[in-house]
């Protein structure tokens, strides 16, 4: 239940939650990046500082040790006869100096390298020092000694430099091991060097500083996060109030739209009734005339014509009754409509029944007998063709209009084409403009060039397009032709 409540609450503010969450995520990401950058900078600074301090402390330790050794040499050897001292005291004194350094965790190796009569002596204990002072210590030979080889090799590479300059020489291995050579000059005379191998370890200091930084960064990030949560809460409250106002406004707009749609439907019904009532009156007049002229000779023909007229009137009434007709009343496999037959009927029994037909217009038919039947109600086909033909008559603006109606079928593409053209003045260019919805202005509602615009104007082509394109899925195009007139093209994909 709790999870559902939380989900529903977040769903109410999806747009705001998404954007605020992205904003918070970006801030937190920046904070994380900043912490990592600062920590990397701190570590780099600590490493550089430690490198300097390691070298400084290692050299300082080597100098102090070498100084102590020099002082001891001067007291025991230079100013007195070495044979007067007790061997045990000499050994103890030097061992103290060596052991004091070796007990330190950072000092790994310490000994003297003394050069005498071109021979090299290694002294790493009080015992060897005692032997050296008595002249009994054997000189160092690389072939016989396996210890201190690395340090001796390093000394041999820099001994000339050390002797000439008498300054400390230090080298670093793997950025952590220091090899330090301190010139050994008791009483100002160069005897050799003191070697120390030191590995300073300041990781405890780095770890402590890094841990303190992590704690500070965590506290700082937590405070920022808590601040963001507070901002998020306040923003959610504001968004909730805004959404409530928007919801009320939306409900009000929805009611207004419902009223507008209802009024538009009622208005459209009214306009369609006004548009079609004259057609119904005309057809009713034809029915009355046929009834009056009934005779045994024309009974079958008149009966079929009257039934067709009546069915067309029924279709008109049905259209006025329903705003959106059921699709199966328009397109249905049970319908098998012969378009050529519908065209013949409209021409012969509607337009040519006008008494002044010979003076007003003339029809030329070029109908393809191979035109296949369509699964469309024949009176829907009537509703599509009749307004287009009537448009050529009403807007030809000539004393006599020639109207050509043709049908063609292409078996290769299985496409039928119906064309209705005339030799009138054509369609005003403005009406051929393609509107943003992709439909030419001619096929929009209330678009007409009649001077006496009224409720019966601007609906013929609109209804034809609505039925042909919107309901039947056919194509309907209008264009002007040379040298004069216009042409309507209906394309049917069978």
3-state SS, 350-379, equals CHHHCCCHHHHEEEEEECCCCCCCECECHH
Measured CA to CA, the distance from residue 271 to residue 278 in angstroms comes to: 12
Which stretches within 74-116 are classed as H helix?
87-102
Kindly report, residue by residue over 76-109, the tens digit of the pLDDT. Answer: 655 455 454 566 666 776 776 666 666 566 777 7
Measured CA to CA, the distance from residue 394 to residue 405 in angstroms comes to: 16
What's the pLDDT band for 49 if we cut at 50, 70, 90?
Answer: low
- 145: region left, alpha or beta (phi > 0 left; psi from -120 to 50 alpha): beta
Q: Which CATH number fits domain 2-201: 3.40.50.880, 3.40.50.720, 3.30.450.20, 3.40.190.10?
A: 3.30.450.20
CA 438: distance to chain centroid?
A: 30
pTM above 0.85, yes or no: no
Domain(s) labelled CATH 3.30.565.10 in the chain stretch across: 325-493
Q: Higher confidence at residue 49 or residue 179?
A: 179
Q: Higher confidence at residue 83 or residue 59?
A: 59
Instruction: Please state, for a pLDDT cut of 70, what percent of the chain lies above it.
Output: 73
Domain(s) labelled CATH 3.30.450.20 in the chain stretch across: 2-201
Is the pLDDT at 253 greater than 80? The verdict is: yes
Measured CA to CA, the distance from residue 192 to residue 90 in angstroms comes to: 20
- CB of 401 closer than 8 Å to CB of 424: yes
pLDDT of the residue at 488: 95
Tell me the C-alpha to C-alpha distance, in Å, between residue 241 and each of 170, 222, 254, 316, 456. 73, 29, 20, 52, 50
Q: What is the mean pLDDT of residues 225-231?
A: 76
* The domain defined by 325-493 carries CATH number 3.90.1150.150: no
Measured CA to CA, the distance from residue 187 to residue 76 in angstroms comes to: 12
Is the pLDDT at 367 greater than 90? The verdict is: yes
Q: What is the mean pLDDT of residues 232-238?
A: 75
Average pLDDT, the chain: 77
Is the pLDDT at 158 greater than 90? The verdict is: no
Tell me the C-alpha to C-alpha distance, in Å, between residue 308 and each of 110, 287, 305, 378, 390. 125, 10, 5, 10, 19
pLDDT of the residue at 415: 94
């Amino acid at each position: 239940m709790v999870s559902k409540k939380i989900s529903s609450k977040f769903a109410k503010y999806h747009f705001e939650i998404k954007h605020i969450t992205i904003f918070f995520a970006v801030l937190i990401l920046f904070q994380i990046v900043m912490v990592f950058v600062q920590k990397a900078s701190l570590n780099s600074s600590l490493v550089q500082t430690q490198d300097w301090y390691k070298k400084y402390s290692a050299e300082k330790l080597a100098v102090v040790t070498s100084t102590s050794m020099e002082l001891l040499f001067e007291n025991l050897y230079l100013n007195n006869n070495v044979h007067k001292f007790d061997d045990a005291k000499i050994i103890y004194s030097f061992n103290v100096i060596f052991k004091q350094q070796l007990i330190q965790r950072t000092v790994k190796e310490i000994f003297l390298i003394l050069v005498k009569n071109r021979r090299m002596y290694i002294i790493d204990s009080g015992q060897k020092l005692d032997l050296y002072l008595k002249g009994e210590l054997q000189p160092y030979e690389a072939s016989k000694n396996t210890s201190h080889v690395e340090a001796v090799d390093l000394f041999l590479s820099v001994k000339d430099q050390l002797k000439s300059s008498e300054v400390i020489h230090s080298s670093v291995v793997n950025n952590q091991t220091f090899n330090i050579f301190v010139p050994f000059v008791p009483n100002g005379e160069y005897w050799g060097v003191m070697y120390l191998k030191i590995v300073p370890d300041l990781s405890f200091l780095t770890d402590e500083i890094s841990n303190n930084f992590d704690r500070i960064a965590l506290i700082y990030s937590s405070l920022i996060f808590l601040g963001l949560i507070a901002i998020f809460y306040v923003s959610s409250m504001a968004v909730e109030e805004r959404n409530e106002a928007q919801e009320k406004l939306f409900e009000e707009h929805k009611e207004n739209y419902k009223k507008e749609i209802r009024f538009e439907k009622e208005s459209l019904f009214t306009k369609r009734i006004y548009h079609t009532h004259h057609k119904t009156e005309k057809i009713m007049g034809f029915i009355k005339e046929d009834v009056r002229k009934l005779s045994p000779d024309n009974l079958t023909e008149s009966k079929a014509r009257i039934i067709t007229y009546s069915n067309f009137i029924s279709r008109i009434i049905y259209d006025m009754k329903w705003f959106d007709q059921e699709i199966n009343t328009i397109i249905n496999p049970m319908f098998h409509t012969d378009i050529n037959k519908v065209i013949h009927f409209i021409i012969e029994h509607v337009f040519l029944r006008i008494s002044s037909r010979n003076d007003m217009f003339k029809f030329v038919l070029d109908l393809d007998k191979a035109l296949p039947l369509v699964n469309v109600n024949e009176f829907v086909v009537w509703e599509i063709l009749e307004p287009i033909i009537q448009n050529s008559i009403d807007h030809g603006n000539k004393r006599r209009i020639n109207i050509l109606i043709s049908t063609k079928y292409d078996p290769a593409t299985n496409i039928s084409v119906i064309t209705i053209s005339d030799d009138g003045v054509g369609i005003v260019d403005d009406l051929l403009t393609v509107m943003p919805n992709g439909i030419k202005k001619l096929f929009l509602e209330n678009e007409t060039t009649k001077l006496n615009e009224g409720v019966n104007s601007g609906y013929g082509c609109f209804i034809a397009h609505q039925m042909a394109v919107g309901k039947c899925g056919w194509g309907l195009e209008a264009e002007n032709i040379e040298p004069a007139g216009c042409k309507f093209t209906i394309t049917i994909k069978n």
